[in-house]
């Protein structure tokens, strides 16, 4: 009788486990089930599977690196078929929210390219699986001393995302048209006044980063904004930023009546000679864009002495990832020294590494040190000298929203002139 009762209880427990497993979101369930297993088990489970990676597909250099270099190596080494599909920040969050509302415990993508406010939104909504990133063998090489890598817009990744690369915002100028570009926000203001109609900034993420750099410069440095969002401090800094912009507005392109929609439009206006500066959140964008012919050969990047914002980008696994094991293997491969080195090459993508090259085996370390630099690149020591960290994503959100309300919508009386 007791044996029969035990058997019934065991069956019920098993059924409950099955039901709970069925109801658990696929990505989180896999991450949990792999938690205590050796890495070889993850590799075995990933072999022969497909991984769908939602990422920004707007740069041919990045696409070529992923499709032409990463994909074949994952197939050959791990038997993983990686498919990179379009999907960036806000879209990722919206998609996952809709999938959650539709009750899709097994979603459409296993890996996401994220950072900053997208990571914050996904974490806040509980749409990321984790923690898992500390399990990756190559995580041992990550530059754990760098706050720019270990904090994503001041947020602790907490194992819910794995670093992939790092970038630093920069302005782009033409060495022929502007042989002596301004080197600080004060000099930039003078330059804009002296060259009416030749400077602008876009309405998107890149310009918000530029404005945050201005906010640091006007507000006493990045350190004053560290430690979470402070409304009082933000409002005071915002007033200074908008006052700076308002004072220059008549001298901006189209008298500040309109702004290019995105950084691609900025590049086009710059290349066509309508404006004298473009900008990018990747200091090496100028290298790939001049090679592609998007920007003139004489274009170069530079950073202002007031400092420019550096940040990292990451990969995350959604809560309902259909193949979290495969996604972990892909994330580990992306962190590997050979994948990071290839990505860093100026003729590939020129994306900064997140590895501490001193921790690597000597042969790899030497290769990183010897990597050929492009004369169009901003020197590494200059970048390091002027790098400033990101602060709470709330600053980004508020500045973007307030700029739209207070600057973009406030059309000056005189508008539509040709200059």
Question: Footprint of another protein on this chain (CB under 8 A)?
Answer: 89-91, 93-94, 97, 101, 117, 121, 124-125, 197, 203, 208, 254, 257-261, 265, 268-269, 272-274, 393, 396-398, 400-401, 404-405, 408-411, 415-419
Instruction: Report the nearest approach of another protein to the CB of residue 229 (Å).
Output: 12
Give whichever of 238 and 396 is closer to another protein, judged by the CB atom: 396
Nearer to another protein, 141 or 205 (CB): 205
Rounded Cα distance between 52 and 229, Å, is: 35
Sign of CA dihedral 358, 363, 369, 372: negative
Q: Which candidate, 174, 306, 170, places its Cα nearest to that of 241?
A: 306
Q: What is the distance, to the nearest Å, from the Cα of residue 86 to the centroid of all Cα atoms in its chain?
A: 15
The residue among 59 and 262 lying less far from another protein, judged by its C-beta, is: 262
DSSP state at residue 17:
H
At its nearest, how many Å lie between another protein and the CB of residue 277? 15
Closest separation in Å from C-beta 155 to another protein:
14
DSSP state of 86: E
Cis-peptide into 98, omega within 30 deg: no
Least spacing, CB of residue 409 vs another protein, in Å: 5
Q: 112: closest CA among 84, 148, 70, 150?
A: 84
Pick the closer one to another protein by CB: 99 or 351. 99
Minimal distance in Å, beta carbon 19 to another protein?
Answer: 27
Residue with tokens 């690369």: 165
Q: Which one, 8 or 411, has the nearer CB to another protein?
A: 411
The pair of three-digit structure tokens given for residue 350, joined into one six-digit string:
């020129």
Which 8-state DSSP code applies to residue 386?
A: H
Name the residue nearer to another protein (CB basis): 185 or 395.
395
Cα gap 132→255, rounded to integer Å: 50
What's the min distance (Å) between Cβ of 361 and another protein?
Answer: 40
């Amino acid at each position: 009788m007791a044996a029969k009762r035990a058997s019934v209880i065991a069956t019920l427990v098993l059924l409950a486990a099955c039901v709970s497993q069925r109801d658990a979101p696929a990505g989180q369930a896999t991450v949990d089930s792999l938690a205590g297993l050796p890495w070889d088990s993850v590799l075995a489970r990933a072999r022969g599977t497909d991984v769908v990676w939602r990422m920004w597909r707007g740069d041919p250099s990045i696409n070529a690196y992923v499709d032409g270099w990463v994909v074949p190596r994952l197939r050959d080494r791990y038997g993983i078929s990686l498919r990179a599909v379009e999907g960036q920040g806000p879209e990722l969050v919206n998609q996952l929210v809709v999938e959650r509302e539709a009750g899709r415990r097994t979603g459409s993508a296993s890996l996401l390219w994220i950072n900053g406010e997208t990571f914050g939104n996904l974490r806040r909504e509980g749409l990321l699986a984790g923690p898992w990133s500390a399990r990756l063998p190559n995580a041992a090489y990550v530059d754990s001393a760098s706050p720019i890598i270990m904090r994503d817009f001041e947020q602790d990744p907490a194992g819910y995302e794995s670093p992939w690369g790092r970038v630093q915002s920069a302005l782009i100028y033409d060495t022929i048209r502007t042989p002596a570009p301004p080197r600080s926000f004060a000099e930039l203001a003078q330059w804009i006044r002296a060259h009416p109609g030749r400077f602008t900034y876009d309405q998107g993420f890149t310009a918000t980063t530029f404005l945050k750099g201005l906010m640091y410069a006007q507000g006493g440095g990045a350190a004053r904004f560290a430690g979470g969002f402070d409304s009082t401090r933000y409002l005071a800094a915002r007033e200074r930023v908008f006052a700076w912009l308002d004072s220059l507005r008549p001298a901006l392109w189209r008298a500040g009546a309109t702004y290019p929609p995105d950084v691609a439009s900025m590049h086009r206006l710059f290349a066509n000679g309508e404006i004298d500066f473009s900008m990018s959140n990747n200091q090496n964008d100028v290298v790939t864009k001049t090679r592609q012919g998007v920007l003139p050969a004489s274009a170069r990047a530079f950073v202002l002495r007031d400092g420019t914002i550096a940040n990292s980008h990451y990969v995350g696994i959604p809560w309902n990832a259909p193949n979290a094991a495969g996604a972990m293997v892909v994330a580990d491969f992306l962190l590997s020294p050979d994948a990071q080195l290839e990505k860093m090459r100026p003729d590939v993508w020129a994306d900064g590494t997140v590895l501490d090259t001193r921790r690597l085996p000597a042969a790899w370390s030497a290769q990183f040190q010897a990597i050929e630099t492009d004369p169009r690149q901003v020197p590494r020591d200059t970048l390091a000298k002027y790098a400033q960290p990101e602060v709470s994503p709330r600053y980004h959100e508020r500045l973007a929203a307030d700029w739209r309300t207070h600057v973009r919508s406030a059309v000056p009386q005189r508008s539509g002139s040709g200059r």
